[in-house]
Chains A and B, each alone.
Chain A
Amino acid sequence: MRKLLFQGMFRPPLTEPAPPLSDAAVDELARSLDRAARRRLGRSLAIREIDAGSCNGCELEIHALNNPFYDLERFGIHFVASPRHADVLLVTGPVTRNMREALERTYHATPGPKWVVAAGDCARDGGCFAGSYAVVGGVSEVVPVALHIPGCPPSPTALLKGLLALLEQESGDRKP
Chain B
Amino acid sequence: MTVKDMARVVGLIASSGARIALHRPWPRAVVTPDMWNAAADQLAHGNWTLLGLWGAAGAVHMALIDGRTGEIGVITLECPNGSFPSIGMRHPPAIRLERAVHDLFGHDPLGLPDKRPWLDHGRWNIGHPLAARPSAAPGPLHYPFLTAEGEGMHQIPVGPVHAGIIEPGHFRFTADGETVVRLEERLGYVHKGIESLMTGAALDRASKLAGRVSGDSTVAYALAFAQAAEAALGIEVPMRACWLRALMAELERIANHLGDIGAVCNDAAFTLMHAHCGVLRERVLRAADACFGHRLMRDRIVPGGILDEPNPAFGAVLRELIDEVRNRFPELVELYDNTTSLQDRTVGTGVLAPALARQYGAGGHVGRASGRTFDARRMPGYPPYHELRFDVPVLDAGDVNARLWIRIREVEQSLFLLEQILEQLPDGAVRTEVMGAREHREGMALVESFRGDVLVWIRLGGDGRVERCHLRDPSWFQWPLLEAAIEGNIVADFPLCNKSFNCSYSGHDL
Contacts and interface: CB of A to CB of B under 8 A. Distances in A.
A56 B166 CA distance: 8
Interface of A: 1, 3-5, 14, 49-64, 66-69, 79, 81-83, 93-94, 96-102, 106, 128-129, 131-135, 152-153, 155
Interface stretch (B145-153, B270-278, B459-467): B270-278
A68 B298 CA distance: 24
B282 A69 contact: yes
A59 B282 contact: no
B191 A98 contact: yes
A56 B295 contact: no
A-B pairs, 4 with minimum CB distance: A57-B215, A132-B193, A134-B193, A81-B163
> In the complex, which of the residues A1, A67, A69, A82 has the most CB atoms of chain B within 10 Å of its own CB atom?
A67
Contacts of B215: 54-60, 153
Contacts of A128: 197, 205, 208-209, 212
A62 B212 contact: no
B136 interface: no
Given A1-B335, A56-B506, A134 B191 contact: yes
Contact of B123 (A54, A68, A98, A132): A98
A4 B276 contact: yes
A59 B166 contact: yes
Contact of A67 (B275, B332, B335): B275
B167 A132 contact: no
B372 interface: no
Contacts of A68: 275, 278-279
> In the complex, which of the residues B188, B275, B298, B331 has the most CB atoms of chain A within 10 Å of its own CB atom?
B275
B126 A133 contact: yes
Contacts of B504: 56
B194 interface: yes
Contact of B259 (A63, A101, A153): A63
Interface string B181-220: 0000000111111101100000001001100111110100
Interface string B271-299: 01001101101100100000000011010
> In the complex, which of the residues A3, A52, A128, A133 has the most CB atoms of chain B within 10 Å of its own CB atom?
A133
Interface in B61-76: none
Nearest to A56: B215
Contact of A132 (B168, B196, B279): B196
Nearest to B504: A56
Contact of B282 (A50, A51, A62, A64): A64
A32 to B, nearest CB: 24
Contacts of A1: 272, 335, 338-339
B125 interface: yes
20 contacts: A4-B272, A5-B272, A51-B167, A52-B168, A54-B506, A55-B218, A56-B215, A56-B505, A57-B216, A60-B259, A60-B296, A67-B279, A68-B275, A69-B282, A98-B188, A98-B189, A98-B191, A106-B161, A133-B124, A153-B215
A135 B332 CA distance: 42
Contacts of B191: 96, 98, 134
Contacts of A96: 189-192
Contacts of A67: 275, 278-279, 281-282
A78 B296 CA distance: 24
Contacts of B126: 133
Interface in B82-124: 121, 123-124
A117 B275 CA distance: 26
A54 B335 contact: no
B25 interface: no
A169 to B, nearest CB: 26
Nearest to B127: A133
A1 B265 CA distance: 14
A12 to B, nearest CB: 13
Contacts of B305: none
Given A3-B331, A4-B331, A96-B190, A55 B212 contact: yes
Given A81-B164, A98-B189, A99-B160, 4 more contacts: A50-B168, A54-B190, A56-B214, A129-B212
Contacts of A82: 163
B137 to A, nearest CB: 9
B165 interface: yes
A106 B162 CA distance: 11
Contact of A102 (B168, B295, B338): B168
B443 interface: no
Contacts of B296: 57, 60, 153
B363 interface: no
B474 to A, nearest CB: 14
> In the complex, which of the residues A51, A69, A83, A134 has the most CB atoms of chain B within 10 Å of its own CB atom?
A134
B129 interface: yes
Given A1-B272, A128-B209, A153-B215, A135 B331 contact: no
A152 B214 contact: no
A136 B160 CA distance: 17
A61 B215 CA distance: 10
Given A55-B506, A57-B298, A133-B125, A94 B192 contact: yes
Contacts of A63: 165, 259
Nearest to A57: B215
B192 A129 contact: yes
Contacts of A81: 163-164
Contact of B285 (A5, A64, A106): A64
B189 A69 contact: no
B214 A55 contact: yes
A36 to B, nearest CB: 30
A82 to B, nearest CB: 7
